[in-house]
Amino acid sequence: MTIKTMKAHAIQHLLSGNAALGIGRAAEPESLYDNPQLYPQAFPWLFPYGLGGIGNMNGFKKLSDITRVRSLLLHHDKRFQLEPFFPLVALNHQQIKHTATGGYLTTQRKDFANIAERILKIDIDTMTSLIERMDNGQLVKPESASEKECFAMINDLDHVSKHVEGSISNKKFMRNEIWSVICARGAPTWFITFAPTDLRHPLCLY
């Protein structure tokens, strides 16, 4: 299933009013922002003194969340590396923050009102038809006005998710940047130099 097909399925699911998974939480949810006690509370065995969490302001200098996570993963006793959930939770929180940033940037666009109106007026039958054609492996190109509106909304979702590291849209935009650099400056050239002492190395012989 391609990424466009998955997005079309997700849009159809939401617009049809189908059920969504509810995540249990406390009466007062914990904030991901400016909350240095979040990780010490979630992983008390990793932070035995309740200090040193992400966003901690008691250090010698202020560190970004990404830099702090990287430093914890390089801790000398490797307890953060060996904990199976810490890297996953840290990555998920980072992606949530980047998604929120992408959504905020989208709302700041001048055409946001048009985007909201387009979402409300999208044709469910057209979206269903596109999903079926994508599932069958067909090369789908928008022809009618309603199909163009559906593809435009998928592109709007790409604009939000391109800010999320590791997402499909982020990789797609990075590939576009690489191709742009190649078109502007030419293809990269790799030079491999062998020292005289490598005459018996398998790479030199074969």
**Are 41 and 106 spatial neighbours (Cβ–Cβ below 8 Å)?**
no
Q: What integer pLDDT is reported at residue 150 of this predicted model?
A: 82
Q: Tokens in use for 109?
A: 């666009």
Note whether residue 5 is domain-resident: yes
| pLDDT for res 111 | 65
DSSP assignment letter at 122: -
Work out how many domains the chain is built from and give that number.
1
Residue 179 maps to a domain? no
Vertex 146 angle, CA 162 and 137, to 5°: 65
Distances (CA, A) of 62 to 94, 177, 195: 18, 31, 45
Q: How far apart are CA 41 and CA 48, in angstroms?
A: 10
Does any domain span residue 127?
yes
Residue 117 lies in a domain: yes
Residue with tokens 């009466």: 27
CA-CA-CA-CA torsion sign (202, 204, 205, 206):
positive
Is the full-model pTM beyond 0.75?
Answer: no
Which residue range is the domain that position 38 belongs to?
Answer: 1-19+26-169
Nearest alpha carbon to residue 130 among 116, 143, 117, 114? 143
Handedness of CA 22, 23, 27, 29 (dihedral sign): negative
The answer as to whether 118 is a domain residue is yes
- Asked whether residue 81 is assigned to any structural domain, the reply reads yes
SS3 (DSSP) at 79:
helix
pLDDT in tens, the chain (206 residues): 677 787 788 888 878 888 877 666 677 777 888 888 888 888 999 988 888 888 777 777 778 888 888 989 998 889 999 999 999 999 888 888 877 776 665 655 666 677 777 777 788 888 888 888 888 888 878 888 888 888 877 777 666 666 677 777 778 888 888 999 999 988 888 777 766 666 666 766 66
The Cα 154–Cα 19 span in angstroms is: 21
196 within domain boundaries: no
The verdict on residue 1 lying in a domain is: yes
Q: Alpha-carbon distance 169 to 158, whole Å? A: 6
